[in-house]
Amino acid sequence: MESLRKKFFSHPFVLTIIAIVLGFAVASVILLLAGFPPKESIETLVQSMIGRPKDIASVIIRSTPIIFTGLGVAFAIKTGLFNIGAEGQYIMGCVVATMVGSMLDFPKPVAVLMVVISAMLVSALYAGFVGFLKAQFGIHEVITSIMLNWIALYFSNWVCGLDFFHKPGTIGMYPVNDCTYTMLLPVWKKSEAGQAFLAEHPVLQETLGRTDVNIGFIVAIIAALYISHLLNRTRKGYELRAVGLNIHAARFSGINVNRSIVHAMMISGALCGLGAAFYVTGQSPHTVSTLSSFENVGFNGLSVAFIAFSSPIGCIFAGLLFGGLLYGGAGLQSKVGAPTEIINIVIGVIVFFCALSYLIPRFVDRLDAAKISKRRARQLAKEKAKAQKAAAAGKDGKKGGSDVV
């Protein structure tokens, strides 16, 4: 019985929910202190996240890249690596996707495939380099990938400035060609027939017609399922997890740990690149602009992976929550006047409580233990009383002397 309760409170999903509730609780207190009505503010926030079909569609679109980078980070964590370089890998993916996409003119499936593959490949290699440095020279991946993040940022800006890619009159590159678009029915929905059809179906009009609904989200779900399968069911996943959990035992049992580290980083990077490809091909402006600082898509992936307790499937929900908060935060500001920073606080608190959540099962265990010891104390008292009665009855009963001679 007690054990079941503990099991319930040990489940990552339950813990995440608790963390989210606590996150909103803390946010409410802060809103109250800042002079905003907490109940209304949070209602507004939720309203702007899921109030209209258009909002839901927008949240999904906003979440997709974060789900991918979250997935990449979560995968790395499962294999014992901390891929703080997701940001850089994502940026590299975006640049390459845009470069390739802006030059291609092929039938759709081929064009999309080429963009996706090239972005994945470059991001994988970029991450693989970090893995190689770790495997070969023992340099910690956090150090190398932080530096590579900056290199990616400046590489991206450099490419933006190249004559060949720079679109005059903008601060960015030429956008990718139409043939690489991954929105749902991009041509049809602009056509007359499409417009007419959408006009008759308001929900579709709002979502499909007004937003860049794309196939990225579906690919993200497939990727999450696949990564989950890869980690838990396959030979490769077994190897990677073994290396992540105990590199010594893995080496001893004949696993090529150096290769594993490189592969793990490459897969993690490829997921970030995949996210980048669908961002560039699936959302306007379909291009990359000169960046003055990081856009945090990769760093947000870290938070997503934490909130999801590194579960690939969990990343989908954590990513949606994250994207939703980012999107809804804007509404919060326009409608209630509360600063968007409150959203950062909510997210921070959720991550914080996720990190602390390992205390919850312990707390539950304490409660259980207290109950049991009470029960036992009662039982013991009963036994003692019985024994005393028995002793009183037969005086010759041996005294409870020492059993140590």
Closest CA to 263 of 152, 141, 127, 78: 127
Closest CA to 172 of 294, 287, 296, 295: 287
The Cα 308–Cα 12 span in angstroms is: 8
The Cα 81–Cα 140 span in angstroms is: 9
Given 71, 115, 250, 265, the residue binding other proteins (CB under 8 A): 250
2: contact with other proteins by CB under 8 A:
yes
Toward other proteins, which CB reaches closer, 167 or 251? 251
DSSP 370-397: HHHHHHHHHHHHHHHHHHHHHHHH-TTS
Q: Give the total of residues touching other proteins (CB under 8 A).
A: 35
Specify the length of the chain in residues.
405
End-to-end CA distance of the chain: 43
Q: Quote the least distance from Cβ 272 to other proteins, whole Å.
A: 24
Toward other proteins, which CB reaches closer, 184 or 360? 360
Positions in 251-290 near other proteins (CB under 8 A): 251-256
Q: Quote the least distance from Cβ 4 to other proteins, whole Å.
A: 9
Toward other proteins, which CB reaches closer, 30 or 247? 247
168: contact with other proteins by CB under 8 A:
no
Q: Quote the least distance from Cβ 166 to other proteins, whole Å.
A: 45
φ, ψ for residue 322, nearest 5 deg: -65, -50
Binding mask 18-57 for other proteins (x = CB under 8 A): ----------------------------------------
Toward other proteins, which CB reaches closer, 244 or 329? 244
Toward other proteins, which CB reaches closer, 1 or 33? 1
The Cα 289–Cα 91 span in angstroms is: 11
Positions in 300-329 near other proteins (CB under 8 A): none
The Cα 33–Cα 91 span in angstroms is: 39
Toward other proteins, which CB reaches closer, 284 or 402? 402
Q: Quote the least distance from Cβ 114 to other proteins, whole Å.
A: 27
Q: Quote the least distance from Cβ 310 to other proteins, whole Å.
A: 12
The Cα 394–Cα 372 span in angstroms is: 33
Toward other proteins, which CB reaches closer, 245 or 330? 245
Which one of 39-47, 51-59, 249-257, 323-331 is the stretch in contact with other proteins (CB under 8 A)?
249-257
The Cα 27–Cα 349 span in angstroms is: 8
Positions in 359-398 near other proteins (CB under 8 A): 366, 369, 372-373, 376-377, 380
DSSP 152-191: HHHHHHHHHHSTTTBPTTSSBBPPPPGGG--BSSTTGGGS
Toward other proteins, which CB reaches closer, 8 or 164? 8
Toward other proteins, which CB reaches closer, 270 or 321? 270
Q: Quote the least distance from Cβ 376 to other proteins, whole Å.
A: 4
Toward other proteins, which CB reaches closer, 5 or 210? 5
Ramachandran region, residue 167 (left: φ > 0; alpha: ψ -120 to 50; beta: rest): beta
CB 112 within 8 A of CB 286: no
CB 28 within 8 A of CB 42: yes
Q: Quote the least distance from Cβ 268 to other proteins, whole Å.
A: 19
Reduced to 3 states (helix: H, G, I; strand: E, B; else coil), residue 289 is strand
Toward other proteins, which CB reaches closer, 233 or 386? 233
5: contact with other proteins by CB under 8 A:
no
Q: Quote the least distance from Cβ 297 to other proteins, whole Å.
A: 30
Q: Quote the least distance from Cβ 366 to other proteins, whole Å.
A: 8
Closest CA to 83 of 98, 95, 68: 68
Q: Quote the least distance from Cβ 351 to other proteins, whole Å.
A: 23
Reduced to 3 states (helix: H, G, I; strand: E, B; else coil), residue 85 is coil
The Cα 295–Cα 371 span in angstroms is: 51
Reduced to 3 states (helix: H, G, I; strand: E, B; else coil), residue 214 is strand
Positions in 222-241 near other proteins (CB under 8 A): 233-236, 238-239, 241
Which residues are near other proteins by CB under 8 A? Answer: 2-3, 6, 233-236, 238-239, 241-242, 245-246, 248-256, 366, 369, 372-373, 376-377, 380, 400-405
